[in-house]
Amino acid sequence: MDETLKKSYKSSWITMGAFAALGIPSFIIVFANLHFDPVLLAFIFGLGIVGGAFLISWGAEAAQVDISASFAIAILALIAILPEYAVEAVLAWDAGQSYLEASAAGQVFGAGSAVTDEMERVAANVTGANRLLIGLGWSAVILIFWLKRRSSLDIKGTMGLEIIMLVIATLVTFLIFFMQQVHVVVAVALIALYLVYLWISSTKEAEEPELMGPSLAIGEQSKLVRRLMVLSLFIYSAIVIIVAAHPFVEALVESGLELGIDEFILIQWIAPLASESPEIIIAVLFSLRANAVAGLTTLISAEVNQLTLLVGSMVGVFSLSAGEILNFPLNHMQSVEFLLTAAVSALGVMFLIHRVINWKAGLILLVLFIAHLPFTDSSERLYFTYIYLAIGAVYGLFFLYQWKSGNLSTENDPD
């Protein structure tokens, strides 16, 4: 091994050790039950999550030596959104407890009926998290790629499975709006859909990936050592994220309350922004390392994960907390939130099916996401739903016309 390669490997090991160390303060604070200013706590726990995100990205890249890229990214996305699962589980459990109290007081819940504040927070968090992934995450990857390459992102020959699963999950999300509840049967079907996605991903053949930095240092090890290292990185990162996620969100919420931020915004945007940070960071890292396709695939896989497994498990935790198998009822406001989420996902799908994504698509997703944030009334959210659906319909019709006329190309992209 030449001297340059030795220095590169040494630098990679030091880098991995440094990012692993970012999670140690989180362990100390949690297990020693220390108390500091909420802003400082948010910063410390946030660093732990960022460190875990880096470790996961390196482990996932190295894992592609042994398993398919699709399966590696699916596992990566699953681990990366653990903070969101932790937050959603807490909210769903509290919702179940509030349901018990309300039922004991003689209130009856059904589809479209009034629900408790705790139950509203569950839907607010999960829908906000999904829109955040597309509006902020997808747009970041697309725009970063364009700024680095000054060209459209070509995803031809990739993400076929992810796009199919996203289409199905999006259609089910539209169904949830019309049902005005997340039925137990729908929840089970969504969980099963995600398991099928994982199984199909795992059956694909592994290909030789292009590794660099820490992922290269791991990938160059013997098969046993490499697999143990990847597994260790995944396990350690998952533990760090689980330990840091809840106190991170709590500290962030406390900081927001001190600043007078509305509770709805805290639950729907601030908490998801914190819990979704790992996968967004990972996707941006992929993009900065000239692997924007892997970055976008990570976010799409996370979107599939959240629209299927997360929504399904939300019903499961709610039922477990309430002590009986229950559908998750939605009032009008919550139903509209699911409808808007489905519309955002549908527009994202329309951009993906062209297989060549122009920078304007990323800008549209980002601008619409930012524009709709201040408007929290259901009627206002419906207007934005129509805007998303209208843009998606126009794009779809243009794409169909180009496809039938045989004029599909990067230059003809109507983004």
**pLDDT at residue 121 above 90?**
no
Cβ neighbours of residue 68 closer than 8 Å, sequence gap 6 or more: 201, 202, 203, 204, 205, 206, 207
pLDDT of residue 108: 59
For 204, the domain range is 3-405
pLDDT of residue 186: 97
Output the six-digit token pair for 256. Answer: 């927001």
Segment 224-243, tens digit of pLDDT: 998 899 899 989 988 998 88
Residue 357 dihedral angles phi and psi, to the nearest 5°: -105, 115
Q: Determine, yes or no, domain membership for 112.
A: yes
Band (pLDDT 50/70/90 cuts) for residue 178 is very high
Report the percentage of the chain scoring pLDDT > 70.
92
Report d(CA 90, CA 254) in Å as an integer: 16
**pLDDT at residue 185 above 70?**
yes
Segment 356-405, tens digit of pLDDT: 899 999 999 999 999 999 898 899 999 999 999 999 999 888 878 777 77
pLDDT of residue 408: 57
Output the six-digit token pair for 149. Answer: 């390459």
Q: Determine, yes or no, domain membership for 325.
A: yes
Q: Are 35 and 174 in contact (CB under 8 A)?
A: no
Positive/negative CA dihedral, 321, 322, 326, 329: negative
Q: Are 359 and 142 in contact (CB under 8 A)?
A: yes
Top-confidence range, 156-170, 335-349, 350-364: 335-349
Q: Are 270 and 124 in contact (CB under 8 A)?
A: no
Q: Give the residue with greater pLDDT, 328 vs 1.
A: 328
Q: Determine, yes or no, domain membership for 232.
A: yes
Q: Determine, yes or no, domain membership for 410.
A: no
pLDDT of residue 234: 86
Q: Determine, yes or no, domain membership for 413.
A: no
List the single range of 198-207, 213-222, 367-376 with lowest mean pLDDT: 198-207
Q: What is the mean pLDDT of residues 111-121?
A: 73
Q: Give the residue with greater pLDDT, 289 vs 110.
A: 289
- The region, left, alpha or beta by phi > 0 then psi within -120 to 50, assigned to residue 366 is alpha
**pLDDT at residue 107 above 70?**
no
List the single range of 34-43, 158-167, 203-212 with lowest mean pLDDT: 203-212
List the single range of 143-157, 240-254, 373-387 with lowest mean pLDDT: 240-254
**pLDDT at residue 59 above 60?**
yes
Report d(CA 415, CA 409) in Å as an integer: 12
Q: Determine, yes or no, domain membership for 414.
A: no
Band (pLDDT 50/70/90 cuts) for residue 412 is very low
Output the six-digit token pair for 79. Answer: 């681990």
Number of domains in the chain: 1
CATH of the domain at 300: 1.20.1420.30
Q: What is the mean pLDDT of residues 118-144?
A: 92
pLDDT of residue 414: 46
Q: 347 vs 33, 41, 76, 95, 366, CA distance in Å?
A: 45, 37, 25, 31, 12
pLDDT of residue 187: 96
For residue 153, the cross-strand partners are 357
Reported pTM:
0.83
Q: Are 100 and 323 in contact (CB under 8 A)?
A: yes
**pLDDT at residue 41 above 60?**
yes
Q: Are 310 and 126 in contact (CB under 8 A)?
A: yes
Q: Determine, yes or no, domain membership for 330.
A: yes
Q: Determine, yes or no, domain membership for 284.
A: yes
Report d(CA 391, CA 367) in Å as an integer: 13
Band (pLDDT 50/70/90 cuts) for residue 89 is confident
**pLDDT at residue 415 above 60?**
no
Q: SS3 for the chain, per residue?
A: CCHHHHHHHHHHHHHHHHHHHCCHHHHHHHHCCCCCCHHHHHHHHHHHHHHHHHHHHHHHHHHCCCCCHHHHHHHHHHHHCHHHHHHHHHHHHHHHHHHHHHHHCCCCCCCCCCCCHHHHHHHHHHHHHHHHHHHHHHHHHHHHHHHHHCCCEECCCCCHHHHHHHHHHHHHHHHHHHHCEECHHHHHHHHHHHHHHHHHHHCCCCCCCCCCHHHHHHHCCCHHHHHHHHHHHHHHHHHHHHHHHHHHHHHHHHHHHHCCCCHHHHHHHHHHHHHCHHHHHHHHHHHHCCCHHHHHHHHHHHHHHHHHHHHHHHHHHHHHHHCCCCCEECCHHHHHHHHHHHHHHHHHHHHHHCCEECHHHHHHHHHHHHHHCCCCCHHHHHHHHHHHHHHHHHHHHHHHHHHHHCCCCCCCCCC
pLDDT of residue 179: 94
Segment 5-14, tens digit of pLDDT: 677 778 889 9
pLDDT of residue 411: 44
